[in-house]
């Protein structure tokens, strides 16, 4: 089993920044992929970003490309999502997810999920 715990959410004004963290524990995969998804009220959960633990491969949704950066600290088994130039439409619950290997955007491809952290961007 893999346990994922997100932190770092909060309230920020438009144009501000936040950094989300996702700490992984339990069984970890040396080549695992970590991803971030988000779900706004009344909307479906959507892909935000994904990256391999090596950092060699990353993928971003068009809506966040150039503003968000996924990274990781392998020694701490922690992934991060640096979010800059935040917009009100970024308001959502953000979830981290993990899968053994291979960058994918589909929710059903990820078997491990955190509990989510709320990000609210005020205008």
> How far apart, in Å, do the first and last CA atoms of the chain sit?
40
Looking at residue 30, what is its pLDDT?
53
State the pLDDT confidence band at 29, using cuts at 50, 70 and 90: low
The answer to whether the beta carbons of residues 122 and 88 sit under 8 Å apart is yes
Looking at residue 70, what is its pLDDT?
97
Looking at residue 74, what is its pLDDT?
85
What are 61-113's pLDDT values in tens digits? Answer: 999 999 999 999 888 889 999 999 999 999 999 999 999 889 999 999 999 99
Strands 10-13 and 117-122: parallel
Looking at residue 55, what is its pLDDT?
83
- Render 32-78 in DSSP notation, one character per residue: -EEEEEEE-TTS--EEEEEEETTSS-EEE-TTTTTTEEEEEEGGGTE
* % the chain with pLDDT above 70: 97
- Enumerate the β-bridge partners of residue 60: 49
Looking at residue 2, what is its pLDDT?
83
DSSP tag of 57: -
Mean of per-residue pLDDT scores for the chain: 93
């Amino acid at each position: 089993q893999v346990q994922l715990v997100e932190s770092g959410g909060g309230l920020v004004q438009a144009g501000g920044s936040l950094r989300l963290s996702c700490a992984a524990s339990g069984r970890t995969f040396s080549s695992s992929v970590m991803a971030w998804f988000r779900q706004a009220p009344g909307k479906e959960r959507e892909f935000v970003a994904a990256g391999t633990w090596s950092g060699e491969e990353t993928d971003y949704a068009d809506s966040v490309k150039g503003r968000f950066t996924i990274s990781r600290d392998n020694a701490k088994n922690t992934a991060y999502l640096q979010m800059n130039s935040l917009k009100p439409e970024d308001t959502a619950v953000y979830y981290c997810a993990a899968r053994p290997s291979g960058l994918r955007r589909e929710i059903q491809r990820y078997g491990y999920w955190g509990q989510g952290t709320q990000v609210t961007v005020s205008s």
